[in-house]
Amino acid sequence: MVDRLKVGVLISGSGSNLQAIMDQCDKKNINAEVVFVGSDNKEATGLLKAKNSNIPYFVVDYKKIIKNCKKTPEFKLPNDYDLNKIKASQNLFPKNSVKEKINFFLLSRARAEAELLNKMCKHQFDLLVLAGFMHKLTPYFISKVNTPGKLPKIMNIHPAILPSFPGICGYEDTFNYGCKVGGCTVHFVDFGEDTGPIIGQKVFSITPDDTIDSIKRKGLEKEWALFPECIQLYANNKLKLETYSYISGLGKQITRTVVKQQSG
């Protein structure tokens, strides 16, 4: 029998995606098992879902860490931290953003991320999935999780049809724009915000009687199916990356890395 893919999950909220993934694992519909659940927030009700399923869980209190960083400007950084290197590789902020703002963001997140890494490394895992984890991850964390030359190891689910509506309010932004279809996307995490290679997407119609709440419900139902499907593609080694350059419709030279599904 092929080993089951060991999946770590990070959440911030109710964990309905976590539950959908655990259910598909339990039913053996996907060749995976959840080996830990982490949260940035001790109030996340999704942690109870981990507890009820006897899955190890932990909290890294981002709010407290960031507050402490604000109070103590000379806060201690991980020994291997190189701010200039991280700054040069990040795509979370435009390069002309206020320097102090970027520095504080990256340095304070480094403290939280070092603690996350420390807690995660107690569990062996093949894939890390962000199931409603509401913090941006920096290149410091991402580079420590990924293995150079191999497929990325972090997957995120986003509540919109990327590349439209990145950020934290995908369904609200879709609805308020007046879109007639909405959807969700699973993608690998790169050094930008919701910019990584797209693995899978599902869509739904938005009708005149829809509200933000009704499209969130429609969207979540699609998410619960999409995330396990993408994990299964990863478990079965069906994904590979390809990089190519092209001229966009707006005449810009673009280089993109995309996910291709391998047949067989």
Indicate which residues carry an active-site annotation: 158
15 binds ligand GAR (CB under 6 A): yes
223 binds ligand GAR (CB under 6 A): yes
Q: Residue 11 Cβ, how far from ligand GAR at the closest point, in Å?
A: 6
- CA–CA separation, 186 and 183 (whole Å): 10
Closest chain position to ligand GAR (CB): 132
Contacts of 156 (CB under 8 A, 6+ apart): 129, 130, 133, 186, 187, 188, 189, 194, 196
Q: Which of 9, 10, 11, 37 binds ligand GAR (CB under 6 A)?
A: 11
Q: Residue 200 Cβ, how far from ligand GAR at the closest point, in Å?
A: 13
Measured from the Cβ of residue 178, the count of other Cβ atoms closer than 10 Å reads 7
172 binds ligand GAR (CB under 6 A): no
CA-based angle 112:82:67, to the nearest 5?
A: 30
Instruction: Pick between residue 38 and residue 46 the one whose CB is nearest to ligand GAR.
Output: 46
Q: Which of 168, 212, 241, 254 binds ligand GAR (CB under 6 A)?
A: 168
Q: Residue 71 Cβ, how far from ligand GAR at the closest point, in Å?
A: 28
**Residue span binding ligand GAR (CB under 6 A) among the ranges 15-23, 48-56, 142-150, 239-247:** 15-23
Q: Which of 120, 127, 128, 157 binds ligand GAR (CB under 6 A)?
A: 157
Q: Residue 204 Cβ, how far from ligand GAR at the closest point, in Å?
A: 13
181 binds ligand GAR (CB under 6 A): no
Q: Is 186 left (phi over 0), alpha (psi -120 to 50) or beta?
A: beta
Q: How many residues does the structure list for the chain?
A: 264
Instruction: Pick between residue 17 and residue 174 the one whose CB is nearest to ligand GAR.
Output: 17
Q: Residue 122 Cβ, how far from ligand GAR at the closest point, in Å?
A: 23
Contacts of 163 (CB under 8 A, 6+ apart): 194, 195
Number of C-alpha atoms within 13 angstroms, CB side, residue 118? 9
Strands 253-261 and 239-247: antiparallel
Torsion angle of C-alpha atoms 177, 181, 182, 188, degrees rounded to 10: -110
Closest CA to 49 of 101, 79, 81, 14: 14
Instruction: Pick between residue 77 and residue 169 the one whose CB is nearest to ligand GAR.
Output: 169
Instruction: Pick between residue 211 and residue 243 the one whose CB is nearest to ligand GAR.
Output: 211
Binding site for ligand GAR (CB under 6 A): 11, 13-17, 46, 131-132, 134, 157-159, 168, 170, 184, 220, 223
